Amino acid sequence: MTNTIDPRDIISKSPMSTLQIVAVALTVCLNALDGFDVLSISFASPGIASEWGIDRAQLGIVLSMELIGMAIGSILLGNVADRIGRRPTILGCLTVMVFGMYLATTAKGLVVLSMWRVITGLGIGGMLAAINAVAAEFANARRKHLSVALMTIGYPLGGVVGGLLASKLLQTYDWRSVFYLGSCLTAIMVPLVYFLIPESVHWQTRKQPAGALENINKTLRRMGHQVIAALPHVSADARKQSSGDVFGSTLIATTIIVTAAYFFHIMTFYFILKWVPKIVADLGFAPSAAGNVLVWVNAGGALGGAIFGFLTLKYDVKALTVGVFVLSSMAVAVFGYSLFGEPPEDLQMLSFICLCAGFCTNAGIVGMYALFAHAFPTHARAFGTGFAIGIGRGGSVLAPIIAGFLFESGIPVPVVAMIMAIGSLVGAIVLLFLKINPEHEQPVGATAGSAGNQSTASAPRAAAA
């Protein structure tokens, strides 16, 4: 049986099929790779500093290198994902990540290591923009925010699992083993994505490349949904839309606000992620123990992201995000306060505090990704997300560097932590000004039926969800 309604409307209103659930699950795994790949340098940093004899300021620069690549990759490759599709972008990014992680093991100095970390970051940045769009576009309307939230908690899950494995490896092998592990795990995902994630129906419906009707119906059949008789007619106005609309009059305010909020919160987030292992190691604990504390940060992040995702089923995403931003600032300040006085005899209390900090800060990241998917329409979703992440990543680049120079200037760790905690509070204030157009949740600019089979009776409203 065929119908003439928009295929995006079918996906939006139908229960999620096994293929859709698998696609979202794979975005969780892909983000877990991102989490491990980004944090791999944190796990390896004590060994690198010891082997090469570098100080904190130099180490802070190295810790930021893949973040620079991520910023560039998010902006450039997010645009690519809107132009050529989500699936080829993900596969290309995975390939870049495999080689970047592997070649980092061949580095003999900071310059070469930094170069490979930038290249790895390019792949990670493009991946983030593409998988956010996939998680949103493969979900139905009711589960959209939950799917994006689950995708986002892959990041701390990757940190937890990868951190446990890295801690074990570091007990026997040197820091290079962490990058070998990351390269192998990333390579495994290439065939899984190739065979199990088809191109987004939303993207194909709007772009309508050659063979779009056949490919859309093939995907709809794999999902267990009804097929369509003809492609929806995309209006002239919709065809004029481009990813550059994120800078147009209707979206520019949204773009600025979400980018700024992400920028400030990410400074607080990455201070914890990048410096916890080194701070703990400097307290006199073994590198493997320092890695375990970072695992607790990510365990808290996974828990916070999951709980946040389920809360989005009942509560407003923006309000939830503002709330966890404020809690993030408080949690990181408490982390700093706990380090006043004598070093702890064990890491139990510090690990618990780090778990709480991870819970709050990653819940804030989940909230921002849900807002990205909610705030930008389909034709600009990957680029809008990528731009916000890319520019926002400036905060992640600055965080380790600023903290490193503050440490080198003689400011104690507790004070530095409290300074870095301010970022999330500023992000919460910025986010209060965000207004979201509810029509971005609806299909815009298409009428059902082709030129030979016009049927406006069942035509959905315009092109974005």
DSSP 121-169: HHHHHHHHHHHHHHHHHSS-TTTHHHHHHHHHHHHHHHHHHHHHHHHHH
In order, the DSSP letters of 366-425 are HHHHHHHHHHS-HHHHHHHHHHHHHHHHHHHHHHHHHHHHHHHTT--HHHHHHHHTHHHH
The per-residue pLDDT for 354 is: 92
C-alpha distances out from residue 266 to 46, 72, 107, 287, 432, Å = 23, 16, 28, 25, 17
d(CA 18, CA 222): 9
Spatial CA neighbour of 89 closest among 200, 237, 223 = 200
Say if residue 181 is exposed, middle or buried (CB neighbours under 10 Å; 0-12, 13-18, 19+): buried
C-beta separation of 99 from 155 below 8 A: no
The per-residue pLDDT for 45 is: 83
Greatest pairwise CA separation for the chain in angstroms: 79
d(CA 132, CA 74): 11
Count of residues making up the chain: 465
Show the CA angle centred on residue 12, arms to residues 303 and 92, nearest 5°.
Answer: 65
In single-letter form, the type of residue at position 301 comes to G
- pLDDT digit of tens for each residue in the chain (465 aa)? 444 689 999 999 999 999 999 999 999 999 998 878 766 777 788 888 889 888 877 877 787 788 788 888 888 887 888 889 999 999 999 999 999 999 999 998 888 999 999 999 999 989 988 998 899 999 998 898 889 988 988 887 887 787 778 878 888 899 999 999 999 999 999 999 999 999 999 999 988 899 999 999 999 999 999 999 999 887 766 655 666 778 887 889 899 999 999 999 999 998 988 788 888 888 888 777 877 888 888 889 889 989 998 998 889 999 999 999 999 999 999 998 888 877 677 788 889 999 999 999 999 999 999 899 888 887 778 888 888 888 877 777 788 888 988 988 889 989 999 999 999 999 999 999 998 765 554 443 444 343 333 333 333 333 333
d(CA 191, CA 187): 8
Three-class secondary structure of residue 3 per DSSP: strand
What CATH number labels 2-447? 1.20.1250.20
Please provide the average confidence, as pLDDT, over all residues in the chain.
85
Beta bridge partners of 227: 2
The per-residue pLDDT for 241 is: 64
Show the CA angle centred on residue 190, arms to residues 186 and 196, nearest 5°.
Answer: 130
Per-domain boundaries in the chain: 2-447
Q: What is the pTM of this model?
A: 0.77
Q: What percent of the chain has pLDDT over 90?
A: 45
Say if residue 344 is exposed, middle or buried (CB neighbours under 10 Å; 0-12, 13-18, 19+): middle
C-beta separation of 131 from 396 below 8 A: no
Do the bridges between strand 233-234 and strand 446-447 make them parallel or antiparallel, or are there none, so unpaired? antiparallel
CB atoms within 10 A of CB 392: 24
